[in-house]
Chains A and B, each alone.
Chain A
Amino acid sequence: MRAYPYPRLTGAVTARVTAVRLRGAGECREVLDYVKACSAIEQVVALGTAERDDWHTACLSLSATVPAREIRNKGHWSDVSVVAVLTDGATNVRTVARLEPGAGGSGEWTGEIELNRDQHLDRASLAVHVVATVGGVPGRVIASMERDWVVDVTAEAPSRDQELDVTSVSFGRGAEWLRELRDAPWVVDTSGRLPTVRLNSDFEGLVALMESEGTPTEKAVAEVLRAHMCAEVWAAVFHTAIGDIEIEEDGTPQFPPDWRGAVLREMLPDVVPTRSLEDALREVHRRRVGEGSWADLQPRIHYAAARRAKVPQALAATVRGIERLDQETHA
Chain B
Amino acid sequence: MTSRPEYLPERLALLSGAQAADFLSAGLLEGREDVPSIALNKVAEPLSGDEARWLLHRVRDLVDDALAMFGGGRPTVADAWLAPRLHDTLRLTRAEAADKGLWAYLALGVAPDYVVWRHAPGPNPDGSPGSVARDRFVGTLDKQTFARLWWAAELFRDGVDYRPAEVACGNQEMFNSALRLDIIDHRPTAQAFISLIESGTVGTGREVNALLAAANAAAATLMYDVIAPDVERDGGAVREWIAAAESAIPPPRHRLPEGPAEERVPEESVRKLAAHFGELFREGRVRGRTSRENE
Chain A residues packing against B (C-beta within 8 Å): 4-6, 56-57, 81, 83, 85, 87, 89-94, 96, 114, 116-121, 129, 131, 137-141, 175-177, 189-193, 244, 246, 248-249, 254, 256
Interface 1/0 per residue, B173-188 and A, CB below 8 Å: 0000100101011100
**Residues of chain B lying within 8 A (CB to CB) of residue A6:** 221
What is the minimal beta-carbon distance from B204 to any residue of chain A, in angstroms? Answer: 16
How far apart sit A244 and B22, CA to CA, in the bound complex (Å)?
17
Q: Considering only CB atoms, which chain A residue lies closest to B233 in the complex? A: A116
Contact (Cβ within 8 A) B94 A118: yes
Q: A118 to nearest B CB, angstroms?
A: 4
Contact B16 A246 (CB under 8 A): no
From A94, A189, A192, A193, name the one whose CB has the most chain B CB atoms within 10 angstroms. A94
Query: Are A193 and B221 neighbours in the complex by a CB distance under 8 Å?
Result: no
Residue from A83, A91, A93 having most chain B Cβ neighbours under 10 A: A91
Query: What are the residues of chain B within 8 A of A256 when measuring CB–CB?
Result: 140
Query: With A92-B155, A244-B140 in contact, do A118 and B224 touch (Cβ < 8 Å)?
Result: no
B209 to nearest A CB, angstroms? 8
Q: Which residues of the partner chain B approach A191 to less than 8 Å between Cβ atoms? A: 16-19
Closest Cβ of chain B to A136, distance in Å, is: 13
Pick the residue among B93, B177, B223 that contacts A139 (CB under 8 A): B223
Q: Is B99 an interface residue (CB 8 A)?
A: yes
Q: Does B1 contact A (CB under 8 A)?
A: no
Question: Do A119 and B95 have beta carbons less than 8 Å apart?
Answer: yes
* B222 touching A93, Cβ below 8 Å: no
User: Which of A4, A57, A96, A118 meets B221, CB within 8 Å?
Assistant: A4
Binds A, one of B2-10, B48-56, B234-242: B234-242
Q: Are B97 and A91 in contact (CB under 8 A)?
A: yes
Query: How many Å lie between the Cα of A27 and that of B196 in the bound state?
Result: 45
Q: Given A5, A89, A120, A176, which contacts B182 in the complex, CB threshold below 8 Å? A: A89
Question: Is the Cβ of A119 less than 8 Å from the Cβ of B222?
Answer: no
Which of these, A83, A177, A189, contacts B226 with CB under 8 Å?
A83
Residues of B near A96 (CB, < 8 A) are: 225, 229-230
Give the residue name and chain of the B residue nearest to A258 (CB).
Answer: B98
Residues 27-69 of chain B, each 1 if its beta carbon lies under 8 Å from chain A, else 0: 0000000000001001100000000000000000000000000
Query: Most A CB atoms within 10 A — which of B93, B177, B186, B209?
Result: B93
Cβ-defined contact, B99 with A121, below 8 A? yes
Given that A87-B182, A92-B155, A246-B180 are contacting pairs, would A177 and B19 also be in contact in the complex, using a CB cutoff of 8 Å? yes
Q: Please, which residues of chain B bring their CB within 8 A of the CB of A140? A: 221-223
Q: Is B151 an interface residue (CB 8 A)?
A: yes
Task: Decide yes or no: A139 and B18 within 8 Å by CB, A90-B98, A119-B95 being known contacts.
Answer: no
A176 touches B42 (CB 8 A): yes
Beta-carbon nearest neighbor of B143 in chain A: A246
Name the A residues within 8 Å of B221 (CB-CB). 4-6, 140-141
Evaluate contact between A138 and B227: CB separation under 8 angstroms.
yes
CA distance A281 to B153 in the complex (A): 32
How many angstroms between the C-alpha atoms of A237 and B200 in the bound complex?
45
Chosen A-B contacts, 24 in total, with CB atoms closer than 8 Å, are: A5-B221, A81-B226, A83-B223, A83-B225, A85-B225, A87-B182, A87-B185, A91-B94, A91-B97, A92-B154, A92-B182, A92-B184, A92-B185, A119-B95, A131-B226, A140-B223, A141-B223, A176-B42, A176-B43, A191-B16, A191-B17, A193-B99, A246-B140, A254-B180
Residue in B closest to A92 when the chains form the complex, CB atoms? B185
CB pair A116–B155 under 8 Å, yes or no, is: no
Distance of A177 Cα from B16 Cα, bound (Å): 11
Q: Which residue of chain B lies nearest to A119 when distances are taken between CB atoms in the complex?
A: B94
In the bound complex, CA of A90 to CA of B151 (Å) = 11
Q: Which of B22, B94, B143, B184 contacts A93, CB < 8 Å?
A: B94
> In the bound complex, what is the Cα–Cα distance between A137 and B42 (angstroms)?
60
Complex Cα distance A175/B46, Å? Answer: 13
Residues of A within 8 A of B239 (CB): 56, 118
Q: Which residue of B lies closest to A94 (CB)?
A: B185
Which residues of A are found within 8 Å of B177, using beta-carbon distances? 249
